[in-house]
Every structure is written in C-alpha cells, then in structure tokens.
Structure 1
Amino acid sequence: MTIQTAPIALDFDEGIDRKTLRRLRDRFMAVNGQRWDRAHSALTYRQQAVLEVLPLVFHLNHPALPGYLDSDCPYGLSHYRPPESTLNAARRLARTFSLKDEGRRKPDLEALFLMGSPGTLGHSVASDLDIWLCHRPDLSERGVQCLERKAQSLSIWAESLGVELHVFVFSAADWRAGRQRAEVTGENCGSSQHYLLLDEFYRTSIHLGGRYPLWWLVPVEDEQRYDECARQLIDCRFIRSDEYIDFGPVSSIPQEEFLGAGVWQLYKGIDMPWKSILKLLLIECYARSNEINGSNESNEKPLLSQVFKSAVYSGETNPDRLDPYILLYERLEQWLLEEDAPQRLALVRQSLYLKAGLPLTRSAQALSGWRATLLRALVESWGWSATELKDLDNRIRWRAEDVVTLRRVVVAELTHSYRLLSRLARDHDTGAAISSNDMNLLGRKLYAAFQRKAGKVEQINPGLAPSLVEENLAFHHQSEQGGSAGHDGWLLY
C-alpha cells in the first residue's frame, strides 16, 4: 500500500535549499520507479529484454550489443551507471559482452526516456514503445545521422522480439527552439504539435537514464516565470547544469496547435480509434478551456501535466491516482458532465475500456494484476450491466452490421471534434502551427480514408472488432432474385 507523503513547498522568492530539491527529485524518481515496474511487468519475457538493455546499447557502442553499425557512432549516457539486472540482460543477449572502463570522456547523450502508455492502464503487450533519445546540442550532423541509423537498426531488432519500437533522436535545445527534423510519418507527428506533445511527455514519461527533467523542480504556480526559476537554480548552484535536461515549460497550449493536432489524431484514428477518441476529446477540452479564457473569464483549468506535478508536490505517490489514463479520464468525465453530454461520455468510457484491452468477464486468474483491479473499479463506478460488459468482451462475435453501426458513431465523434477545432481556428483567426506540407499530407490521407463515393470499397472495421470472419457465406446471382432485366451481378449473404 502506498502511503501519502508530506507535501513539498518551493518558494523561489523566500529561498530554496538543496536538501528540499533532492527530496523532490527523489520523490519523482520513486514515482518513476513504480511506473518502470508496471511497464516492465506488462511485457513478455522477450519484450522485457528490449526495455532492459536500451539504456546500455546507447551508453556503449559495443559490437556485441543490438543496433551496432558504426564504430564511431556517438555514445555515452550522462551520469549513467548500468544496474546489475541490465548487465545480466546484456550477457543473455550476447555471451561475448563485457563492460570495460571507458575512463573520463564527455558523454554524447544527455538523456533517455520512455513515453506514452507503458506503465499505465492503457498499456498492453500489443502497445508500442516510444523512446526519446536526447543528444548534446553540439553533436555533428554525421553523429546525429549515425544515431538515427542505430535507432532504426534497434527498431528492426526489437521487431524480431515482438516489440514495436520507435526511437526519436533530437536535442533538448532543438526541441525548445522548435526545430523539427522529421515530417509526418506513421509515428512521427511532425510539426502538428509541440506543447501538446510536451504536456503528454511530462505526465507519462519514464526516465530510463541520463539527466532528469528540470521541469520537475519548478512548481506549477511558477511555470509562467519558468526561465527565471531555471536560471536561479543553475546560476546560484542549487543544481549542476549537467544533472538536468531542459525541454522548457508548458504552462498553456497555444491556440495555433489545436487544429494541426486534431488533424493528426483524426489520421491516427483511422487505425487506432479508441486511443484517438480519448486524445482528440482532450484536445477539444483544452481548446474550449482556452476559448473561455479568451473571453476574459478565468475558467481555464490546469493541463494534465500540471495536475500530475501538483499531485506529486502535495505528497501523492499512489501510482493508481497518478496513472495518466486515470487523470485523462477524470478530466473528460468532469467536462462532459458539465456539458451534459451523456452519449459522448459513454463513448469515452467504452474507448478507455477497449484501449485497456482487458476483457473482465474472462478468467479471473488471468486478470489478477493491478491493471485489471483498477479497470474493474472504474467499471463498477460506471454502473455497467453484466450484459454490456459481456457484449464488449465478445467483440470477436460481432457481426458486420454491428461494426458498421459503431463505425458511424466513431467517425461522427472524430469529425465532430475536428469541425469544432476548425471553427475555433476560424473564430480566433489563428494560423495552424502545423506546416503546410504536413497539413496537405494528412489531408490527403484523411480524404482517402473517410471520403464516401460510388464504387469505393470502404474499410468498415478500422480496429473496432478483432475479426469479422463469417463461418457461412451464400452467393446468389441477381437473375435468381426476380429483379429487373440487366441486373447480372452477384449478391453475398
């Protein structure tokens, strides 16, 4: 059982001290450790090996380890000391591996983070792993390209072990300056979002090695003067500049980001509707809060990253209470109840349940972990009937007409949010932060996926049901149906 710890208060005006800052960092690291344990436990044995050795393969450029390509590839993770469990995992992968003392050299890599759903209610064995690999800002272009090639090689290796791994290579300085190397791809959101992604990073990330986020040490109430506080911490030597990595503040989301981020989530919703519905509604919730605030009414609610940070400062260390998907659901539930939108709330609950991927009506023995316990408590609070729950758990038996009906609801919800974000952008006369190239690319993909026209065979099951296999099929020629002359096609029942 997790015990509530004492609140920690930082007052930059009255004075701060190193002991309090260490306590604060240790508390965030304790929360980080709980998430790491949860992320690790949700994976298979082979997948765990990928997560365990990731920091080491970037800390060392060792030919016996996965991903090795170039002898001069940048390496060295700042302040990283591999634990024995990681060294053992490396030895299991490569018997010839041995750790050698590299002496004192300037590390090329500042930090390594895992972000997204791992360690949360929304994670499953099928979930991918998104890694942020942050190099020092003065690394040569060739060095950055070497790291990108190594990252790609590691993704291929991880795929052979059943893990979908994406490693994003950049420096914190480039991030703060908004210098985007990559355009929109299947996993990279390109220029479509910056602060929204940073908000997600701060509330979901797991520190795997290297420097800690400086953001941890700036209280929510001081984020408006974040740079001033950061300078005070470093200039007055409360912390060493090489101990922390700085991605900058995220005190609010600029209006310009909402439209591009909405288009990106629509695009992701083609294949992953449940996750996209949750994220798109959060974007709409944030945008509406901004709209209210823009009319001089102080009704703007804190971002979820700020809710998370405030909770840790106040002494909350219970991983269930700090779970990013729980924080996300609670925000959407509160908003949709205020909006009197019971149908949208029902879809949010269904989306969260299906995103978790835990059929609660199945074997109790197989569903005894913390995720099942947390999800079961949620479902009980929603008051779902046994019939509703069983229907969702038996999606494998859904018929095509059931899926078509649900697809209409999902597409209607996705497009509803997008239209609202488009209207807000027009009303505020704000340009979209997304680049025109990325916007055009996403537009074409959405047009191809959602446009309805004669002769087009629509995909009716974009991740809604596991399978639409039918045991019995019947083919009939239209000439046998008593139709009018000239109808010579086939009918499938």
Structure 2
Amino acid sequence: MTSQQTLTVNQNLTIRLLRVLRYNKARIERSLSLLSEQHRPLFHVLPFLLHVNHPDLPGYIEDDNTPHGLNNYSYRDQIKFALLEVFPHLQGLFDDIRQLWPRSRSIDALVLMGSIGTIAQSTDSDFDYWVCINSKLLTPEAQVLLQEKLTAIEQWAATEYGIEIHFFLSDIEQVKACDFGVAEGESAGSAQAVLLKAEFYTTNIVVAGKAPFWWLVPETFSEQQYYSLMQQLNEGNSPDPNWFMDLGHLEKLDPNELFGAAIWQLGKAMDSPFKSVLKMAKLEVFLENLEDEQPLCNLLKKRVHNGDEAPGSVAIIDPYALMFDQLIQHYESEEQYDAVNLLRECLYIKCAPKLSYPVKEGQATFKRRIMAGYAKQWGWIRSEIRHLDDLDEWSFQELVQLSRRIHRFLIQCYRRMSSKLSTGQQLVSKEDMTVIGRRLDTFYSRKENKVEFLRSGFDNRVYCPQVTFKLTKKKNNKVVWSAHSGDLMGQYGEALAETRMIQFPSPIRLVMWGVSNRIMNEETRFFLDYDTDPLTENDVHNLIKHTLELFPPVKINALPRENLLSPQQIKTCMVVVNFTTPRPRVSVDEVWVVYSTTWGEMFVVEGIEALDAMWFELQEVTPRPPCYVHIPQCKHKKYLFEKFTEKTELPFKLLD
C-alpha cells in the first residue's frame, strides 16, 4: 500500500471514529437525561470506583494485589462534581487526586449494554456493565479480588441508592470467541452465543476505556478484511491501536442458534413479557430474512458511519427504535396486523413516555419526542394513549387479556420458527434443553389438578387489595366458588361477570391459585358473600398465612438448575381438613391435599385417597418432604387431627 493509500485509509478511519464517538457521546447524554437527579452522579462515580481502590470509598478491597484502574481514563471536572455530590465529606481526598491514582491499569474497558441510553430506558432499568479484561495479564487470584471489588460496588449502589447494577467480568479473548460462560442459570453461550454478541454490539455504550475495534470496520467487511484493517493501525497515529480492543468480527448471525434463542426468550417471557415479545419478534424477523438481511448491529453501524446521511445527525439514531421499525415493517408486509398492534402497545408500555400527561416546554426528552412521533404515525388518539399511560389503573381482566395476547404471540412465533428449523443442527446443549424445557413445561402446561400460572408477567400489578368470594349453588347440587376483584358484596349480574377472576368447586383452590399468582396475600381484605357459612374471613386469612409460609410464589426462572436436571419430587405437602364443613362436626368429612414439587408446580387434589397414591413420595424418599395439616379454628381441632392421622398413618404436623 502506498503512503497516499495509507493516508486515505487513516482519514476514512478517523472520520468513522469521530462519528462513532459523537454517537457514543449522544447515547451517554441520553442516558443522563433519563436518570433521576439522585442517580445521575452515579454514572460518573461508578467508573471512578473501579479506577481507584481506597479505604474511604465503596469497593475497597484490603489487598495490594487487587486489580483496578481503567485504561484511557482521565479525571475531569464533571467527575469531581459528581464525586462531591455523592461523597461531600471527602472533598480533601478529591482535591489531591494523586494520592488515589493507580500506578497501573488492569481494566481495558467499562462498557454498558442494554436499554440504557435508548427509548426503552426507564426508572427500573438495570445497569449491565461489561468489565473487559485481558485474563492472561491477571492471575486467577487477582480476578477473584476484582470480582469481590465489583460485588462490593454493586451492593453499595443497591443499598444506598436502590439501583440495580450488574458488573460482568468479561475476558476479551473469550468474548472474541463468543464464549460467554454460564449466565442466569443456563449457558447463554450454548443457547445463543453470536446473538448475544450481536445484542452487545447493537446497544453498547463505552463508558470508559477502550472501544471495540468492530465500531471502525465498515459493515460490509469480511473477517479477513477486519483483521487486515486492524494491522494497518500504527501507534502514535490516529486512530491509535491502543484506543481499541478486539472483541471479534460479526458478519452474519448463526441460524443454528435460533432454536435455543427462541426457547430462551420463551423462558424470559415468564418474568419480562414486553422485552421478550420484541426479542422473539426480532428472532423471527431474522429467520425470515436470513439470506439477504444483515444483523441489526451492522445496520446500526452503517447509519452511524454515514452520519445518518448527514454529519451531525448521528445523535438521533436509537438502536431500540431501529429494531422496532424493522419488526413492524416485517409484520406489516406479512399482513399480521394483530401482531403489529400488539408490538406497538408493548413498545409503548415498555418505554412508558406518558404522552397524555403535559410536559413543560423545553423539558421533553428524546424518548418523548420519538414516541410522540410514533403515536402520531399510528393514528392513536389521546384517549387510547391515556389508557396505556394508566396501566396501574387497569382492571384485573384487562391485564389478563393483554397477557394472553402476549403469550399467544410468543407461542405462535415459536411454532412458526420451529417448523422452519432443524432442531438437530441447533447449537444448544442437552442440559440447557432439559432445564429450559422443564421450566416452560412448568409454566405453560396444563395437567390434572395443577394450579395454573396466570402468565401475566405484570409483577405486582395483578395483586388485588380487595377480593370477594361468592358461592353459587347449581341445580345438580354442585357448588361453584368464584373470586372477584374488589368489594362485590350483594352485587349480581354484569358487575360479577366483569370482576370475576376465576371459579372452582372449592375455596381452597381459589386461595392456592390466588397466592401462587401473587393476586392475594395476608394484606388482602376478603369479603365472603351470603351463603358462604361456615367459612369466615379469618379462616381464609389463616389458610393464606400458612400457604405463603409453605408454598411461597415461585419465579420459574429462579428454580435451581440442579432441581430441573433431577427427577421431580414432592417438596412440601399440606392437607386441609373440614374447611367448609360445619364446625361442630367431629368427623373427618372433607380433605384436600395440596403439594408442591421441585420443578415448581403446585397441585390440589380432593380426597384422602390421594395420600394413598402418594405414599411412596411421602415416606420412602430421603429426605422426606415435610407434611402438615391445616384445620380451621374450632373446639375439636386436635381431635380431628388425631382422627386424620389414624386414617393416614403418615408423619404429619398440625399447623397452629
């Protein structure tokens, strides 16, 4: 290559670098604009805490071998102001910064990934940082010390500021090889290694240290061209190779990862449906455009390199909005308008711009401007927007209806993708398939006597502070117990139909379903309508108290991996005796058996004979599952317990 050609290459690289830096700066400014005043200083304080190791500051580890220090990190007034806001009593320490400054630097880069700095950032957004290191330069002992430091800073941020910070210690060579180890209980590397890297490249913000060299390489380059370009950089010239780290090239995604990624997203949807709806749609869109579409991260990079068609306009690019536009274009072309409407609603709820609420002139964030543009483009009227803004005011039935649409879409996506993929070629380990598959089975499958999951994903929004139990007697002498949201005492007709959550032949099943799905707890106020004698509000509260103690609500994604890789066993058993029987009775007339399993399922079975079928699981396994009896308060409680144990000959304990 001639000197003129080299000069031209360097000039092009410098132009791309300037636009990348401008885009990165805009993302930082956007993230700061959406942070509360209390949390804003932390954006500057957290990198500083990784850079130093001092006993007066969070994250201090009392070992001289503790790695710290960020490459290419400098002390600026902005950082000092933030430090003084958070640690006003340490001004003297920050005035003489030389006493803190590290002699060597062990961390190559601190990089944010995820929704921060996009329209999807919210007050609940986690801060997921990659702490990039060269593990060849750090001993295993040093890496343990660094992890201790990172954990201490995470705990400080959570305790003092209530903000969720996650530092992922990332070895540059492993990331380059798409080896992400074990994440969140399953091997993310097994299920979706290249996809994870693509998501990182799509959303990353370089907070401090070196930038991924990937940012400088044109999106059309092959891996060979990528490394050829890297070798042309010379120290001391611009761009300087010391400014970058090599996390690897990404030319195309691997279709063999799609099956694992799809079931991964189905699993994630059990806790975070809005995020998973968009991500599952992204997987399907990728599959449909496998031959002619580049990964989203490369399309994003192309727009950044082009300055979004005009130098200076690069700051308006939003990775989340870019992804969303791609999804909508696909489903509109397929005339799947139900999916289009669902994705729009999910995006709006996820971003929560509160467009129906007024904002002072000049105080509109970039998120509000982008989302207002979408709402206008979609033809939404203000009443529609206000309805989504007031999600906290939605009725139980409205929440459930949206939940069903979300999970229906996820399952349909999964089925369409499965029909086009050969599972035999998919890069997902057998163990991961077992774990994820069993979680999905626990959450989605219907089985006889099983307490079904509501599939809401709305966290505490489905909780009902007031619940009415009603008893309806049918002509065939059968009874139906129903649970209604709110105080419905004495009401009938349409009011009942609109507020009914579920119905069963027994109030015990109502309680188990309500507790399992976080709809009812000890704070819930219960109203028992007429004809529910002898049951009292106190009886319901006592049953709920014991149910919460023995069968706390399960988060499927938190089920221990080892449990799901082992045969299913009964975890806890509780028998409820004479719950709706007249209290003077001294015979065991009514028995309901409630038990949970190590795979996160709960079952409610009527009749004492159910215990005969469970004898092996209750008495022949080691260790034996704890077994309890719940009897409503009455004069003959202990006598009834003795009569019950005589019949079963099993080691039960009486609950108070």
TM-score range relative to shorter protein: 0.7 to 0.9
SS at match of 1:203: helix
Give unmatched runs, 5+ long, in structure 1: 1-11, 294-299
- What pairs with 1:263-282 in structure 2 (closer than 5 Å)? 263-282=263-282
Q: Report the CA distance shift for 1:371/1:21 in structure 2 as closer, same or farther (over 3 A).
A: same
Q: Report the CA distance shift for 1:417/1:148 in structure 2 as closer, same or farther (over 3 A).
A: farther
- What pairs with 1:56-75 in structure 2 (closer than 5 Å)? 56-71=48-63, 72-75=65-68
Q: Distance in 2 between matches of 1:207 and 1:252?
A: 23
Q: Distance in 2 between matches of 1:87 and 1:257?
A: 45
Task: Return the letter of the residue paired with 2:336.
Answer: A
Q: Distance in 2 between matches of 1:398 and 1:266?
A: 25
Q: Report the CA distance shift for 1:379/1:466 in structure 2 as closer, same or farther (over 3 A).
A: farther
SS at match of 2:17: helix
Any idea what the Cα deviations from partners look like across 1:183-216, whole Å, max 9, x if unmatched?
A: 4339x84532222222222221111111121112
Q: Distance in 1 between matches of 2:60 and 2:342?
A: 45
Q: Say yes or no: does 1:242 pair with 2:233.
A: no
CA contact (8 A) 2:108 2:134 kept: yes
Aligned residue for 2:441? 447
How many angstroms does 1:42 deviate by? 0.8
Q: Report the CA distance shift for 1:453/1:359 in structure 2 as closer, same or farther (over 3 A).
A: farther
SS at match of 2:305: helix
Q: Report the CA distance shift for 1:372/1:124 in structure 2 as closer, same or farther (over 3 A).
A: same
- What pairs with 1:321-340 in structure 2 (closer than 5 Å)? 321-340=316-335
Q: Distance in 1 between matches of 2:234 and 2:463?
A: 65
Greater relative CO (CA pairs within 8 A, separation 6+): 1
Indicate the structure (1 or 2) with the bigger Cα radius of gyration: 2
Q: Say yes or no: does 1:395 pair with 2:391.
A: yes
Q: Report the CA distance shift for 1:100/1:359 in structure 2 as closer, same or farther (over 3 A).
A: same
Task: Return the letter of the residue paired with 2:323.
Answer: L
Q: Distance in 1 between matches of 2:329 and 2:452?
A: 36
Give unmatched runs, 5+ long, in structure 2: 485-656
Aligned residue for 1:27? 19
Q: Report the CA distance shift for 1:347/1:320 in structure 2 as closer, same or farther (over 3 A).
A: farther
Of the three residues 36, 45, 48, the one matched with 2:40 is 48
CA contact (8 A) 2:180 2:189 kept: yes
Any idea what the Cα deviations from partners look like across 1:83-109, whole Å, max 9, x if unmatched?
A: 222123223433334322678844211
Q: Report the CA distance shift for 1:103/1:168 in structure 2 as closer, same or farther (over 3 A).
A: closer
How many angstroms does 1:44 deviate by? 1.4
Task: Return the letter of the residue paired with 1:405.
Answer: Q
Aligned residue for 1:7? none
Q: Say yes or no: does 1:426 pair with 2:426.
A: no
Count of aligned positions: 468
RMSD, matched Cα: 2.7
CA contact (8 A) 2:118 2:320 kept: yes
Q: Distance in 2 between matches of 1:459 and 1:92?
A: 46
Q: Distance in 2 between matches of 1:456 and 1:274?
A: 26
How many angstroms does 1:474 deviate by? 2.8
How many angstroms does 1:17 deviate by? 4.0
Q: Distance in 1 between matches of 2:75 and 2:101?
A: 15
SS at match of 1:79: coil
Task: Return the letter of the residue paired with 1:124.
Answer: S
Aligned residue for 1:5? none
CA contact (8 A) 1:184 1:190 kept: no
SS at match of 2:167: strand
How many angstroms does 1:439 deviate by? 2.9
- What pairs with 1:7-406 in structure 2 (closer than 5 Å)? 16-71=8-63, 72-94=65-87, 95-96=89-90, 97-98=93-94, 99-100=97-98, 105-138=103-136, 139-160=138-159, 161-185=161-185, 189-234=188-233, 239-290=239-290, 293=291, 300-316=292-308, 317-318=312-313, 321-365=316-360, 368-406=364-402
How many angstroms does 1:131 deviate by? 0.4
Aligned residue for 2:482? 491
Q: Report the CA distance shift for 1:28/1:183 in structure 2 as closer, same or farther (over 3 A).
A: closer
SS at match of 1:114: strand
How many angstroms does 1:464 deviate by? 4.1
Percent identity over paired residues: 27
Q: Report the CA distance shift for 1:471/1:218 in structure 2 as closer, same or farther (over 3 A).
A: closer
SS at match of 2:40: helix
Q: Distance in 2 between matches of 1:66 and 1:104?
A: 16
CA contact (8 A) 1:137 1:171 kept: yes
How many angstroms does 1:320 deviate by? 6.6
Task: Return the letter of the residue paired with 1:314.
Answer: N
Q: Distance in 2 between matches of 1:131 and 1:168?
A: 6
Q: Distance in 2 between matches of 1:235 and 1:86?
A: 31
Which sits farther off after the overlay, 458-467 or 377-386?
458-467
State TM-score, norm by structure 1.
Answer: 0.87
CA contact (8 A) 2:179 2:189 kept: no
Q: Report the CA distance shift for 1:192/1:318 in structure 2 as closer, same or farther (over 3 A).
A: farther
Q: Report which of the two has the higher share of strand.
A: 2
